Structure 1
Amino acid sequence: MKVAFIGLGVMGYPMAGHLAQAGHEVTVYNRTAAKAEQWCQAYKGNSAVTPAEAARDAEIIFTCVGNDDDLRQVVTGAQGVFSSMASTAVLVDHTTASAKVARELAEAASDQGFGFLDAPVSGGQAGAENGVLSIMIGGEASTYELVAPVIDCYAKSAKLLGPAGSGQLAKMVNQICIAGLVQGLAEGVHFAKQAGLDASAVFDVIQHGAAGSWQMVNRHQTMIEDEFDFGFAVDWMRKDLNITLDEARTNGAQLPVTALVDQFYAEVQKLGGNRWDTSSLVKRLEQ
């Protein structure tokens, strides 16, 4: 199919690459044009100077940008994709954003005859590079069925969870669960060291039992070795948790652990860890 991909960050860059490798005709746009040029050298595809140019004549437009404001700019701005989309085209948004903006864009798309799905992803940079992301989707079933085979280029699992906004709400559930897991793992690593145990040996054993998780398998050793210059940045996690806590204030959900871990991440930021991986929670325990 003829597709456009808007936003070539650590997630979007490999995701767009999987689309090109699958044989789709891909046009990319990135705010930093040099990144788009680099992508075109690495994959077969074209770059555009505006989101509108990238989206023109595309059957599916994918977006993966930073936040609600970035998303509005590339979609509904003067040079946004809505200004050039064909009436039969579909916008698939992979940004982790608010449910509010997802519903807003879904309504705007419907008014203009476009299809829209909010489809945030989980799996990190490694999941994007290896094409094994989990994708949580909100929107109409008929729209999802149209784009599902294309999304499969970089998905291990994808599921339609309800109307517009449902994908973003599900991503909030994902981040709630991760926040508690990482804090528990941080405390476990800290305790093992304080107890004089061989922490690596401990986690080699317990990761196969009831305490095991993706975070434990993939992050325990780097936490032990004080390595955090990779992965999902603390700044990004705080952005996601703030969206989640705002939504909880609206729907009445009680999130005491999530709120506490958000403040722990604020302490990590004060240590200079804005771009450290989220597993850097252990750093605040070892000061």
Structure 2
Amino acid sequence: MAKVAFLGLGVMGFPMAGHLAAKGHQVTVWNRSPAKAAAWVEKHGHSAAPTAREAAAGAEFVMACVGNDDDLRQVCLGPDGAFAGMAKGAIFVDHTTVSAGVTREMAAVAAGLGHGYVDAPVSGGQAGAENGVLSIMCGGADSDYAKAEPVLAAYARICRRLGEVGAGQLAKMMNQICIAGLMQGLSEALAFGQKAGLDCAAVVEVISQGAAGSWQMQNRHKTMLADQFDFGFAVDWMRKDLKICLETADQIGAQLPVTALIDQFYKDVQLMGGGRNDTSSLIRRLK
């Protein structure tokens, strides 16, 4: 069992830190709003710290799950940042979806201070975090990943090292590119079926067992048909992720024409007031 700090207790981080506690690890949490950290301690026990630095002090592993590149820098750097509190040899594990550029930047700073670094973005959504069945895509040195993997198992269905630092974030970009295309296809199919007068739930029961089946179809078709979107992974966050994908594609010379188009469709949903709705609200454009 390890001494672990967990930084960031949003819809993903709160249950992920809880799984670490349930598995017997010694957990100290930190959150930008102290009330959330206090609520976590009330539910799970263990302890909370007033700064990321104090949470990281003495921890063997420091996990972070925050919002974006700037949030990650703020959590890592400065006199109250996690790096200032970590002991040499401790490993920083970043679950945030950020750019590969900031990942490599933070990893270089960590290495200069004698810390290990693993970028480990996750997929599986809030339900995956709550049920401890996330897919975790990792980048980092073999030795750092080997140490972190048994701890990550607390909330992983599958966890794999895919290359050096930054590889996890690049893999997460692939994940988001796939989801964007799948969600648009599902939205078009359901809107088409409704216009055609079909029982779409019955149709999905059939086609989900064939080549068209996907996680999105299985887990989102009912709420999409019911026009319910006040849950899940927000459109605002998807646009943040797709921006990272499109900028990275420009940097490496890749083409993402469909992803660029769907990003604009999500912009339409934002303009309709749906920025905090689940990504499945893409169907609202078609109704």
Q: TM-score range by the shorter chain?
A: over 0.9
1:138 maps to 2:139: yes
Partner Cα separation in structure 1 for residue 96 and residue 269 of structure 2: 24
Partner Cα separation in structure 2 for residue 186 and residue 215 of structure 1: 10
What's the secondary structure of 1:28's corresponding residue?
A: strand
Number of the residue aligned with 1:213:
214
Query: How many correspondences in the alignment?
Result: 286
Letter in 2 for 1:4: A
Within 5 A, what are the aligned runs for 1:55-70? 55-70=56-71
What's the secondary structure of 1:172's corresponding residue?
A: helix
Partner Cα separation in structure 2 for residue 239 and residue 227 of structure 1: 22
Displacement after TM superposition at 1:77 (Å): 2.4
Number of the residue aligned with 2:184:
183
Partner Cα separation in structure 2 for residue 15 and residue 214 of structure 1: 21
1:254 maps to 2:255: yes
Number of the residue aligned with 1:164:
165
- Which sections of structure 1, spanning at least 5 residues, go unmatched? none
What's the secondary structure of 1:57's corresponding residue?
A: coil
Within 5 A, what are the aligned runs for 1:57-206? 57-206=58-207
Partner Cα separation in structure 2 for residue 198 and residue 77 of structure 1: 57
Partner Cα separation in structure 2 for residue 77 and residue 14 of structure 1: 27
Which digits, 9 at most, give the CA deviation of each residue in 1:16-46, with x for residues without a partner? 0000001111000000100000000110210
Letter in 1 for 2:113: Q
What's the secondary structure of 2:154's corresponding residue?
A: coil
- Which sections of structure 2, spanning at least 5 residues, go unmatched? none
What's the secondary structure of 1:244's corresponding residue?
A: helix
Letter in 2 for 1:15: M
Letter in 1 for 2:180: A
TM-score relative to the length of structure 2? 0.99
Number of the residue aligned with 2:4:
3
What's the secondary structure of 2:59's corresponding residue?
A: coil
What's the secondary structure of 1:153's corresponding residue?
A: helix
RMSD over aligned Cα atoms: 0.5
Letter in 1 for 2:246: L
Which digits, 9 at most, give the CA deviation of each residue in 1:196-228, with x for residues without a partner? 111111111111010000000001111111010
What's the secondary structure of 1:16's corresponding residue?
A: helix
Number of the residue aligned with 2:52:
51
Which digits, 9 at most, give the CA deviation of each residue in 1:135-191, with x for residues without a partner? 000000001111111000000000000010000000000000000000000000000
1:239 maps to 2:240: yes
Which digits, 9 at most, give the CA deviation of each residue in 1:251-286, with x for residues without a partner? 011000000000000000011001100000000111
Partner Cα separation in structure 2 for residue 140 and residue 198 of structure 1: 51
TM-score relative to the length of structure 1? 0.99
Number of the residue aligned with 2:271:
270
Letter in 2 for 1:43: H
Partner Cα separation in structure 1 for residue 229 and residue 23 of structure 2: 33
- Greater than 6 Å deviation, 4+ residue runs: none
